[in-house]
Amino acid sequence: MRPANEAILVIDVQNDFCPGGALAVAGGDDIVAPINALVPEYPVRVFTQDWHPADHHSFASQHDGAAPMSVIEMPYGPQVLWPDHCIIGSDGAAFHSKLDPRPADLIIRKGFRRQIDSYSAFFENDHATSTGLEGYLRNRGVEKLVVVGLALDFCVNYSAVDAAKLGFEVTVIESLCRAIDFDGSLNAAKAGMAAAGITLK
């Protein structure tokens, strides 16, 4: 067992982000078994799920003539318009069938507010609306955070950077993540994480 002040954060290992899903990340299912093996080593275990209403504003289908993966300006900044994915209660929003969520102490669902997307496990994309995760981790005495999951260049990246900004010591295990790599997003994410003091291993 790892020290009591360490937590693992498992990001969005859901059907829609795995091969065959609506927003599949190449090799997304390859990380499931090693994540299952790693999770029990940590005294604090948090899983997240993308959890969108069917008419979420980040979906290209909600904007006339907009193509998936195009970018528009939202009140909180640039927003990629995604294919419909991780709709509340759908099979696509469920955890991958081989992921074992039973050890999770807490499951954070994010992106359920129609008007705003949420990549980070800590904040919605306005960088102000909190999910409550910081307070939970503080109350559990967590100081160090290991982050794994999908996708490395979006939700893993945003979660890790927010955690570092909040003062946690953060490590991202790259071998237990997979990336979308949209328009150079992977290199940009890795550079940003390194600049934030995050350990990539």
Residue % of the chain over a pLDDT of 90: 99
Kindly state the average pLDDT of the residues 2-21: 98
* 3-class DSSP assignment, residue 200: strand
> In the chain, where do the E strands start and end?
6-11, 44-50, 71-74, 77-80, 106-110, 144-150, 169-178, 199-200
The encoded tokens of residue 175 equal: 């071998």
pLDDT of the residue at 7: 98
The pLDDT of 25-47, averaged and rounded, is 98
Q: What domains does the chain contain, in order, with CATH numbers?
A: 6-53+85-200 (3.40.50.850)
Q: Fill in the DSSP letter of residue 13.
A: -
- Beta carbons within 10 angstroms of residue 103's beta carbon: 13
pLDDT band at 135 (very low <50, low <70, confident <90, very high): very high
Answer yes or no: are the C-beta atoms of 159 and 120 closer than 8 Å. yes
End-to-end, the C-alpha distance of the chain in Å comes to 20
Q: Report d(CA 95, CA 14) in Å as an integer.
A: 4
CA pair distance 174, 201, nearest whole angstrom: 6
Condensed to tens digits (0 to 9), the pLDDT of residues 97-115 reads 999 999 999 999 999 999 9
Number of neighbouring beta carbons within 10 Å of residue 14: 28
Q: How confident is the model at residue 26 (pLDDT cuts 50, 70, 90)?
A: very high
67-71: average pLDDT: 96
State what percent of residues in the chain have pLDDT above 70: 100
| Separation of alpha carbons 13 and 95, rounded Å | 6
CB 115: neighbour CB atoms within 10 A? 12
The pLDDT value recorded for residue 15 is 98
Mean pLDDT of 55-60: 98
- Residue 56: the pLDDT is 98
The β-bridge relationship of strands 6-11 and 44-50 is parallel
Q: What is the mean pLDDT of the chain?
A: 97
Average of pLDDT values for 1-27? Answer: 98
Closest CA to 109 of 125, 93, 98, 90: 93
* pLDDT at position 78: 95
Active site residues: 12, 110, 155
Q: For residue 40, what is the enclosing H or E element?
A: none
Q: Match 């993308």 to its residue by tokens.
A: 50
- 3-state SS record for 139-177: HCCCCEEEEEEECHHHHHHHHHHHHHHCCCEEEEEEEEE
